[in-house]
Structures are given as C-alpha cells and as structure tokens.
Chains A and B, each alone.
Chain A
C-alpha cells in the first residue's frame, strides 16, 4: 500500500497525467479488495450527474466570449462607469477580470484575453510597470467565487451541496477580495492624479450602446440562477445559445469556420476535467469503503481540538496543495476527504467550499509553480522571478482576505437561505 502510494506520487510529480495516477490508485485499491476492475468502467459510465452538462456549456460560452470583441466592450463599459475613481483603471481591471473569470473558469484565458488589453492601457495611464504586472497576474484567477464558475459547480457536484447555495455564498467573499485589492491599488497610486478621468454621460451612453447585446448576459445568468427559476444546467444551455447567437450570428465577430477550433479547445479543457472526475469517482468510492476519511478524522481529532486550530491547519494545507495541484484535481481528490473531517469540527460544508476555492485561488499565484505566474511571464515576456516579486504584495493581500473568509463564516453564509 505504502510502496504503491509512493510510486504513484513520484509518477505524478514527474508529470504523469493525473487521471492515470488517480485511476491506478483506485484500481490498486479495487484489486486489494478483490473487487472486479470492471468497476472502473462502471464508475466512468456514472459520469451522469445532470449538473455536469453545465460544465461544457459554460466553458463553450466563455471561450466564444474571449475570442470575440466582448472583452474590449466590457473594459470600455466598466471604464465609463468607474473611470472617475482614484486608480480607476486598476479597479476596472479587477472588476472585469473577476466577471470574465467567473465565465471562463480561471484556466488562464483571462490573462490572455483581458491582460493583453489592460496591461498596455495601465501603462499608458502612468501606472508603474511592476504594479501592472502584479495586478494582471493576480486578477487572472479573481472571480472564482462568482457564478457560474466551474470550480464552484464542481465543488457542488463532489460535495452534493446545492450549487445554488454555493453561488450565493461566493458573492460577498468574492466582493471582499476585490475591495481589498482595489484599496491596495488606490493606496499604491495615491500620488498619481494623471490617471483620473472625468465622468461622462456621453461616453457611458456610447459604451452602453456598443455593449447592448452583452448587457443581458449577466442578467440572464445571475438572474436565472439566483432567482432559482431555472436549474443551473438550463441556465447554461440558454447562455451557450445566447452567446453563440450574439457573437457568431448577429455581431459576426467569430467566423463560422473558426468554430470547430474554438469548440475543440474549450472541450479539450472540459475533457481533461471530466476524465479526472470520472476516475476519481472510483477512487473516492474506494476511500469511503475503506473508511479513510473516518480514520483521518480520528487522527486529526487526536492532534487538534478547536475549530480555530483546525481551520489554520486546513488553510496551511490548502495553500501548499494549491501551489502544487490545479484546482479541478484538488477539488475531486481532496474534498471527499476533508468534507467529513470539517463536518466533525463543525464547519459548514458551503462555507468550507468557499474557503477551499478562495485558498486554491492563491495557488495560482504561489511561487514556484503557480499557473498564473507562468502565463504572465510567457504572455508579457517578463522573467519569471520578476513576476514572482511583482505579484507578491497582491498575494499577501489575498492571503489576508482568505483568512478573513475562513474565520468569518457568516460572510459566506449571509446570503444562503436557512435550510
């Protein structure tokens, strides 16, 4: 058991595809229990939670949006609204990146689609280069806590918590993160007045007209989900169709010939996530039959007694985890293990989900292997060490926000209706 675990961990670190590693651990478990390995196939065929349809549909919508000129319109619209504030463009960057990431699921698409737009604009307005680089890199995963982000949906699937409640729970903690980063941006740029632009009704009108087709989108998605009128998978189908009709048929910013390429790259991401989910259904079932979560709970309870210590331990664990593992694999692998433990310490499962995702969000920025750091370094052609140090202050602020989110459960649970 221990030997096979070490070999598997080694293979994972050497870069073996994670689904293969997880599948092997499940199959090793099955054969120790004399369970037929056919169960592997049965578990994969069980990729059938109706909520899962939301994943390909929202991803498709996000990819179509990022390939159209919607990012430009979104930035113009937000500028017209917020450009008059001190450090207005920085706040705009935070808000637009968060909105965009909610749709595209923090797969690096945000930095590529919006960063290319915002980075030169920030520079032109006289913001210091180091600040811009850190801001864009940190913003790339902001918005994970807002509907309809894929990690939130996936957490709901794995924990069997209502997706609707998770979407509500993410709102205030997500806003807290943006406010804290915005405050820092204003403080850093307090001496610079060149960047403040007067508010103009005319510009707001023009920007609104330009974005007329996209404005209903957040209303459809958020309204549909938060009102509880439609199921999440239904909102996803409507969103996918709406985005397709607007960007391809009406605005014609994406040619029909480009669709197969865009659909392919969106679905490849989805396939990578779903196959991990499929094989991890098997490994989770094995872990539960082997009562591994209970044993872990007993072990941790013997070390830690208070909820506060447990939360600190959990945060430390998640920060390390987030730095090594991508968010999707982390959710499917770790949530089934920590959910019963957190329950044992009286942590609400919805609150746990928000803490989990918020902490994993930091993983994108944690040196040495945070994904956003690499994407930024690659996209803006900066040395990776330079990106590390530029992002560091933002990482510290987000860490502060994650600690607040962890120890203030009411912030997450405020908007969640009592069961």
Chain B
C-alpha cells in the first residue's frame, strides 16, 4: 500500500470512529433523558410522554445497529474462540479470512433484503411517531449491515495481509 493510500484509510478510520462515537453518545443520552423525563412527568404531573415507548424502542434499534458496526471495527463480535488459541499463526489467519468473508456475505444478504423491505414500506407509506415515514427511521438496518459487511471484508483483508493478528488473538472480552 502506498503512503497516500495508507493516510487515506487512516483518516477514514478516524472519521468513522468519531461518527460512531458521536451517534452512540447521542443515542444513549436520548435513551437516559427520555426515560427519566417520562418517569418525572408521570409521577409529578400525572402525564407521561405519549411517544416515549416508541422512541425508546427505536433508539435501542439504532444503538444496536451502530454498535454492531463499531463491534465489527474492533473485532468484538461474539465468536467461539476455542480454536484460535490452539492453531499456528498461519492457519489462524487463514480461518479468519474464511469466516470473516462468510460474515461479510451474510451481512450483505441481510442488507439487501432489508433494503427491499424499505421499498415496500415506502410503497405502503408506513409511519412511525404518527407522521414520520417509517423507512427513514428503519433505513438504519440496511445501512448498518452494509457497513458491517464492508468492515468484515476489511478485516479479512487485514488477516490475509498479516497485519493486526496479534491484536485479534488477545483473549480480552
């Protein structure tokens, strides 16, 4: 890889990480804020927030999706790691290339079908929060799976090129 390309990928990685962090902080903040506000309003004024439950549901969906992208970047998706500790390095890397490409393919398939589902939601004009078109809120699913697929391809490439394997073998949670 040339110096310029490496710099480009480094910057891409930093920007992606920042965006994920920003989204996670905002979503979690919203979840705490609306959750507590709902209790306070209900207990003191006897009237909760009518959209609080739907908001929490969708926020958890978004949190899960963005966190799934972040987990793919940090190689922290849950796997059975039994063999990794026993295999010699070259075989370990080979299996990682295989399983990460498999994961990328699965994510791509899910992203594609989630995308098809969005088209149907657009056609039938499904809504959330009374008036918001559902597809806007639900678009996080295909987008997140597409990005996760991309991260798994990168991760497979890294294992194939031999960088990063030391880190991936650390038995940390």
Contact = CB atoms under 8 A, between A and B. Distances in A.
Do A and B pair up? The answer is yes
A40 B95 contact: no
B160 to A, nearest CB: 15
B35 A47 contact: no
B80 A325 contact: yes
A328 B71 CA distance: 16
B171 A17 contact: no
B146 interface: no
A60 B59 CA distance: 15
B113 to A, nearest CB: 5
Size band of the interface chain B makes with A: 35 or more
B166 interface: no
A368 B84 CA distance: 12
A24 B104 CA distance: 12
Contact of A236 (B35, B38, B65, B138): B35
Contact of A56 (B57, B63, B110, B116): B63
Contacts of A329: 78
A324 B68 contact: no
Nearest to A48: B57
Contact of A109 (B24, B83, B113, B173): B173
Dominant secondary structure of chain B at its interface with chain A = helix
Given A53-B35, A234-B35, A17 B99 contact: yes
B31 A268 contact: no
B105 to A, nearest CB: 8
B165 interface: no
Interface in A48-64: 48, 50, 52-53, 55-57, 60
A29 B102 CA distance: 18
Given A47-B64, A378-B171, A40 B79 contact: no
Task: Pick from A13, A14, A276, A374 the residue with the most CB of B within 10 Å.
Answer: A14
Interface string A121-150: 000000000000000000000000000000
Contacts of A230: 39
A374 B171 contact: yes
A328 to B, nearest CB: 7
B147 to A, nearest CB: 12
B144 to A, nearest CB: 9
B80 A57 contact: no
Nearest to B40: A238
Contacts of B141: 41, 44-45
A75 interface: no
Contact of B35 (A11, A237, A260, A270): A237
Given A47-B64, A238-B36, A41 B171 contact: no
A37 interface: yes
A19 B77 contact: yes
B74 interface: yes
Contacts of B152: 17
Given A15-B79, A15-B99, A267-B28, 12 more contacts: A15-B83, A19-B77, A37-B109, A44-B114, A57-B35, A234-B39, A259-B25, A273-B78, A274-B63, A275-B77, A278-B64, A324-B80
Interface of A: 11-20, 23-24, 27, 36-38, 40-42, 44-45, 47-48, 50, 52-53, 55-57, 60, 107-109, 230, 233-234, 236-238, 240-241, 244, 259-261, 263-264, 267-276, 278-279, 324-326, 328-329, 368-369, 371, 374-375, 377-378
The 3 closest A-B pairs by CB, nearest first: A271-B67, A237-B35, A374-B171
25 contacts: A11-B99, A15-B80, A16-B103, A17-B152, A18-B77, A18-B78, A20-B102, A27-B109, A41-B142, A44-B114, A45-B138, A47-B60, A48-B61, A53-B31, A57-B31, A57-B32, A108-B172, A109-B173, A237-B36, A237-B39, A240-B32, A269-B76, A270-B64, A271-B63, A374-B171
Interface of B: 20-22, 24-25, 28, 31-32, 35-36, 38-39, 53, 56-61, 63-71, 74, 76-85, 95-96, 98-99, 102-103, 106-107, 109-110, 113-114, 116-117, 120, 138, 141-142, 152, 170-173
